[in-house]
Structure 1
Amino acid sequence: SCIYQFLNLGMSLREIAQALRRSPSTISREIKRNSSKIKGNEESYTKYFPIKANDKYLDRRKDCHRKSKFSKDVIDYLTIKISEHWSPEQISNRSTNVIKQVPSTSTIYRLIHAKKLPKTSMEKLRRKGKFKRPAEKRGKFNDKGRTIKKRPKEIYTRQELGHWEADTVESGRLDHKRKSGYCFVTLAERKSRYYIAILVENRKSENVTPAIINVLKNLPKELVKTITFDRGKRNFQNLRK
């Protein structure tokens, strides 16, 4: 708008450049590139309008970005496959004669995020049979149990056999209906580093407790002195015992 006002005041390009602290060549290019052609009764002429000049600048900026390295055939192929509910993993890992080279899985995701694929978004992707693991509802801890800080010192020094630590490890791969929740109960003897893993149907205490008892009951008493459990709610029954 300053250039427009200065031109209406009859200032020269050099005077405008000096007022705006720009070089005369910069002012000259701005006026030449962004002036609008006006058709008069006898002849046409050009005039600089700030709003139209800004519109022309924005139009040119649209073509200034780096061109995609993927051809239209690749973009069309990816768009069609996603519309057919193919996952990016399936598209990337499936060979085809339609295009020369299929982009990698991560590249396909980037194209979707960058909105380079027409009418395609993350919401349109299929879930590929996966489910979101629901947040675990935490129960109350057994406050009557002894804390780990109150364990005998000989347990910390690992100088005595018979002190165990127990926990459960649940697999990240459950069936899509979540009917199966198989997990491992782990037992580690602190001094010897002897490790036991027991497969149980789920990590509920009614399954975990009998599994631990069944494994340790055959060991000599001097090898089973203490068992330290994680204080999660699944071990609530364990802590009481």
Structure 2
Amino acid sequence: MSTGNYNTNQTRSFTHLDFKERQLIEKWLNEDVNKAEIGRRLGRNRSTIHREINRGKVEQIKQINGYNKKVTVYYSDSGQSIYEKRRAKSVRKKIVSFSSAFFSALEDAFTKGWFKGKQRLYNIKTFIALYRKKHPVENIPTFKTVYSYIRQGLLSIKPHDLPVMYRLKPRKNQHSNPKGKNKRILGTSITDRPEDVLPRETFGHWEADLVKGKKTKNEPAIITLVERKTRYAITKKISDYKSQTVKNAFEEILADNPNLFASITFDNGSEFSLMSELNTDVYFCHAYASWERGSNENFNKLLREFIPKGKSIHLFSEMDIDQAAQAINKRIREVIGLRSSEEYFQQCSI
């Protein structure tokens, strides 16, 4: 997510189609002008024209070559009529129109500290999804509606109480192709990783990285490992981030968990130069393509709430780091079916 503030209530710049434009669409369709050209003439996106045509279509019976056939024809009158009916219904719902039991549960969860701070269990979106799953007949608002109520001061929850609220930004549908070229070849490329790893349907495939504090000589670091299917994380503090130290630590992790690792994917940092010697399948990402280890990068971002950048890892004990990882693993996540990584990991590792 973005570090900037994304206002879900920001003013949009577009205008709705008017009746005159609908009449022009009807006229040009009768002249066999295609949708893209109609959009260009009106200064509208092609998808806007496409949706309007679907909205204003009317089914008719026409005689073609002596046979009665059903055809669909766009009429501006029909499109305008449907538009006006929908606009009449398009009004913002007041808070009293939603379930009062839901808002009571929301306020109670907030009072218990489930949304705020490092030990939080939910964000607003996952709480709503879980509540809706348990109470399917209740009228529940969307998470954006709840955020709107919070901004308006209609709830006791304040914007600064919610770490995720100001990090909202629409997620890109697709990642770009890797643009960088690896200066060093440390081992097997992620390109050669089995295709069944990508959809996260198989348990045991991990992503790994180091979280560093101050970049000074003999500064400790933290190994972070995230299982792709469950998003469960393992951490280990190491005395420095020399390649031999990192290799020894990973060998200890593999020895302690012999049946959990089918593969590990690393980036191309020099600290991972000996990873190909590990007794498991190892793959390396492309340069400047951190999204190829997206789950691990997300965990590292969450871990930074406990261990801020620039602070020495000397200040944090192994217990401090383990407790931080456990707190993150206990959070409820929508992406894995409204359960915690800890719960899902236990189910998959049996």
Please give the range of the TM-score, normalised by the shorter of the 2 chains.
0.3 to 0.5
**Higher radius of gyration, 1 or 2:** 1
TM-score normalised by the chain length of structure 1:
0.37
Relative contact order higher in (CA < 8 Å, ≥ 6 apart): 2
